[in-house]
Each structure stands twice: as C-alpha cells, then as structure tokens.
Structure 1
Amino acid sequence: MATYNKRGYKPKTKKEKEVVEEILDSESTTAEVFSTLDEGANKTEEWVSKNQNIILYIIGGIAVAALAYWAYTQFVVAPKSQEAVSEMTQANIYYNDALTATGEVQDSLYTLALEGGEGKYGFLKIIEEYSGTDAANLANYQAGMAYLNLGGTNYQNAIDHLTEYKGGDSVLESIALAGIGDALIQVNQTGDAISFYMQAAETNANEFTSPKYLLKAANAALITGDNATAIKALETIESTYGDSDEATTAKVLLGQAQAAGN
C-alpha cells in the first residue's frame, strides 16, 4: 500500500494516480486533525499550569471536608449517640410503664417520660440536647405518642413531634402517621386526617395494621363527604384484607358509601 512513497515512484495508470491522490489528501486531513488536537492540549496544559493553585485548593477542600465529616461522625456523633441512649433509659422506663397503666397514674408516667425524673432527661430534653441522633429521633416518636395519650390541650404537640419522627418504611412510621391522623381528628381537622390514615395503611403494609388504618380513613372520608376516598379504602379492605376483623364492617360501610355516591 505504501509503494507510492518510494523515491522515484510514479503512478503508471490513471487509476493508480487517483488512489495516490486520495491517500495524500487523507494524510493531509489527518495531520490537520492531530495539529488541532495538539493545540487544544497545549491550551489545556496552559490553563492547568496557570490555575494549578486553584485546582489544588479545590482538591484539598474536598479532602478536608471528607476528613472533617469522618471525624465528626466518629468522634462527635457516635459518642453523642451512646450518651443519648444511656440518658434516655429512665424516660423509656416511664414510657413503657405508662403503656400498661390507667387514669392519673398513666398521665403521671407519660409526663415523667416527657419531662424526666430521678436526675435523668425526659424525651423533650433528649430531643433538645441530642438533636441529629437516632435517640432524639425515637424520642420524637415517643413524645408524640405520650402527648396523644395525654389528650386535652396536647394534640398539637403530638402532631408536631410525630411529624418530626422519621421512621422510613417501618411499623413505627405507620403508627406515627396514624397518630397524626388521630390527633387531627381531635382538633376537628378530619379532612386532613384522611391522607395520614391512607399513608399509614400503605407504610409497611400488613394484615394487622393496614385494614385498621384504612377503616379509619374510610370513616373520616364519610364524615367529610369524600365518598370516592371512602369507597377506595373500603374496597381495598375487601380485596386485600378480606380475612381481617375490619372486613365485615367495611362491607357494610361500602354499601352505604356506594349508595351515597349514586
């Protein structure tokens, strides 16, 4: 293929001449491309050379930030979390005892769980002092449920703390969402409660809690005249949770909702 480069070589036919010219044109274009690339590379090298201090500062800043985050999690967050769990022990005892108590004794135990006792923090102080830890997150859930059970003027506090709790797709998250719905019902915001009940039913869906929350959603929807949502919730109970205790009640209410919708 390269015989045309040999000294003294001349194409003998018209066809050979055309081939040689085509190859030479191709080589010329390739050379231009490489020349352009070289110029671009030179410009890039010049920019890097001129701005190398800035580049080093940026890289150094990223490294410092990563190191700072690691140090923060290892030497601040981890010890803080352990301390929070230890500090929270007494509040948990009050809270767990309150779950099985009744009347004034129950109210007293929930109050101690919230405010603390025996020289230990309650949930409210845990939330304040150990913000960002798992213990503080759980304390928001427990504080919210404590306020919900105390009732009276405490429903808004229940809503505030349960809203702050982040439980992912856990059973506690579904209970917290339903708790917000219950509190909203108590402060006459029934329409707002519906969506929280529906979310509670969908979060960590199971045959025990989901039909309960769907039935609550249906009842709230019927009260507000939202028959479409009521029908949707009741039909889900029938189709998905037909063996649940709520299924019989759902069947009756579904007939009423469908009749009201016609």
Structure 2
Amino acid sequence: MAKKNNIGRRPQGTPSTGRPRGTSAPVLEGDETLVDLVEVRDQGLDFFERNRNIIVFGAIAIALLVAGYFVYKTFVQIPAEKTAMAEMQQAQIQFERDSFNLALVNPGQGGLGFVDIVDQYGSTKAGNLANYYAAVSYLNVGKYEAALDYAKSFDASGTLLPAMKYGVIGDAESELGNMDAAISSYRSAVDAAGDNFVTAGYYLNKLGLLLRNQGKTTEALEAFKRLKTDYGQSPEAAQADKYISMLEMAN
C-alpha cells in the first residue's frame, strides 16, 4: 500500500493545535508566550495606574528643568557673559599698561576693576579669567596673600592656563617665604606646560634657581640639565650650561 503524503501534517508525538481536551491536555509553547505577554502588559498597566501621579509629575519636572536650563542660558548666562567682557575691557587696558592698582579697582571710563568683575560676574568665563588678572595684579603690587587667593580661585583649563596658574601660585608662595610650596607649584607648572618649551622652560628655570638658592644643588642640577635637554629651544636654556657648571663644581 502506498504511503500517505505527510506534508503539512504534525510530526508524530507533537501536541495538536486544536482545542485542548480535558484538564490534562498539554499547553502549547505559543500559548504560554501569549499568557506571559498578557501578564507583562497587565503588570505594566497596573504599575502605571498605581504610580500615575509620580510618573506624570516626574516627567513634568524633567521638562521644566530642561526648559529652565535653556531659558537661563539664553536670557541670563549669555547676556551676562557679554556684559562681563565689555565691563572688563578697561581693566585689561590698565593691566597692559602695568597700572595694576587701577586695573584692580578703578580702571576708569565707567569700567569695572577685576575685583568687581569677580564679585559680580564670577560665574561667567570672563569673571573666572578676572581671577587670574587679579592674582597677577596683586602679585605686582606686593599683596601676596590676595594674589594667592585669587590664583587658587582661578579655574584654569586648556594647555597654557594651568601652567600659568601654578606659576603665579609659585611666585606668591615664594614671596611669602613658603619655599617648599613654591617648589611644588613650579614643578606643577612645568608638568602642566607639557611640550610648550617656552612656558615649560620659563618655569623650569625658576624652579632650578629656587632649588639652587635653597641649597638643593642635586635637584637644581637635574632641573637645569632637563632645561637644556628637553627645552633647549627656550630662551632660558641659553643660561643652563653656566648653572650646570656651577652646580657640578659645588657637588
């Protein structure tokens, strides 16, 4: 007898897709998946219903925060930045003239000094930069504590400003007699300068001179040798051989 064609039929031993017969009828895997999906949906709806207020108010709060940020940036921060830059121009002019006292508090022509720029616009980029200008100005008029405070308040970023910040701190600490702190700051200035041979060479030379003056001849010799080898293009490197010879004789 010819075999029946089984195409489209169930493989032997698999459950029927028809209505289950009796309580012991097997449950199809597809039916289990459908039940699971329904349960997940029902649980999700139940969670939303129980926490509707929290979810809605949370979404509103996030939307208000985002909107508030854009309103603040557009109508407060950006205008304040422009105003601070305009107010600081006259102080910068006095700074370039080495009129540091005027630059700090009374630059003239209605402009604000660096101290007032920091006080009124400290949250802006211009206000932050005014910290550095104020630090250098106070350093030049001999008020080293104030110079140190403003330098430490300056939030330096980029590849040049961090080195300059540490350099000013080193100068102020040195003038205050805090030599170990000054040495540490000059080291930080050199490290922050990286491959910038002008800035790094300038502060490495200061570090070497200070170490020499403190009687730390071995460390000073290392500093001047590094100045010659790593930053030989810097203007200060021209004097390195002289100090190297002096320090080698002293050791």
TM range (shorter): 0.7 to 0.9
The 2-side partners of 1:226 and 1:28 are apart by 87
Of the three residues 4, 9, 24, the one matched with 1:3 is 9
TM-score, normalization by structure 2: 0.78
Alignment of 1:215-254 (within 5 A): 215-222=205-212, 223=214, 225=216, 227=218, 230=220, 233-247=223-237, 249-251=239-241
The 2-side partners of 1:193 and 1:74 are apart by 42
Give me the identity figure in percent.
Answer: 29
Query: Offset of 1:191 from its aligned partner?
Result: 1.1
Give the match for residue 197 of structure 2: 207
The Cα offsets for residues 87-106 of structure 1, whole Å up to 9 and x where unpaired, read as 222222221111xxxxxxxx
Contact 1:94–1:110 at 8 Å: present in 2 too? yes
Give the match for residue 113 of structure 1: 103
Structure 2: unaligned runs, 5 residues or longer: 1-6, 16-25
Query: Offset of 1:147 from its aligned partner?
Result: 0.5
The Cα offsets for residues 67-116 of structure 1, whole Å up to 9 and x where unpaired, read as 11111111112222222222222222221111xxxxxxxxxx21111111
Query: Offset of 1:40 from its aligned partner?
Result: 2.8
CA RMSD of aligned residues (A): 3.1
The 2-side partners of 1:97 and 1:244 are apart by 26
Give the match for residue 38 of structure 1: 38
Give the match for residue 149 of structure 1: 140
Give the match for residue 170 of structure 2: 181
Amino acid at match of 2:61: G
The 2-side partners of 1:94 and 1:187 are apart by 26
Give the match for residue 122 of structure 2: 131
Give the match for residue 85 of structure 2: 85
Residue 257 to residue 157, structure 1, CA distance change in 2 (3 Å):
farther
Query: Offset of 1:187 from its aligned partner?
Result: 0.8
The 1-side partners of 2:238 and 2:105 are apart by 43
Amino acid at match of 1:59: A
Alignment of 1:45-64 (within 5 A): 45-64=45-64
The 2-side partners of 1:170 and 1:111 are apart by 29
Give the match for residue 18 of structure 2: none
Residue 35 to residue 235, structure 1, CA distance change in 2 (3 Å):
farther
The 1-side partners of 2:217 and 2:29 are apart by 73
Contact 2:164–2:189 at 8 Å: present in 1 too? yes
Contact 1:191–1:224 at 8 Å: present in 2 too? no
The 2-side partners of 1:221 and 1:52 are apart by 68
Residue 131 to residue 49, structure 1, CA distance change in 2 (3 Å):
same
Contact 1:190–1:224 at 8 Å: present in 2 too? no
Residue 216 to residue 54, structure 1, CA distance change in 2 (3 Å):
same
Query: Offset of 1:185 from its aligned partner?
Result: 0.7
Give the match for residue 21 of structure 2: none
The 2-side partners of 1:221 and 1:121 are apart by 40
SS of structure 2 residue aligned to 1:208: helix
Contact 1:238–1:250 at 8 Å: present in 2 too? yes
193-202 or 121-130: which moved more?
193-202
Residue 36 to residue 184, structure 1, CA distance change in 2 (3 Å):
same
Contact 2:217–2:250 at 8 Å: present in 1 too? no
The 2-side partners of 1:254 and 1:37 are apart by 80
The Cα offsets for residues 30-56 of structure 1, whole Å up to 9 and x where unpaired, read as 543553343233212210122122112
Amino acid at match of 1:216: K
TM-score, normalization by structure 1: 0.75
131-140 or 180-189: which moved more?
131-140
Contact 1:201–1:213 at 8 Å: present in 2 too? yes
- Does 2:199 align with 1:193? no
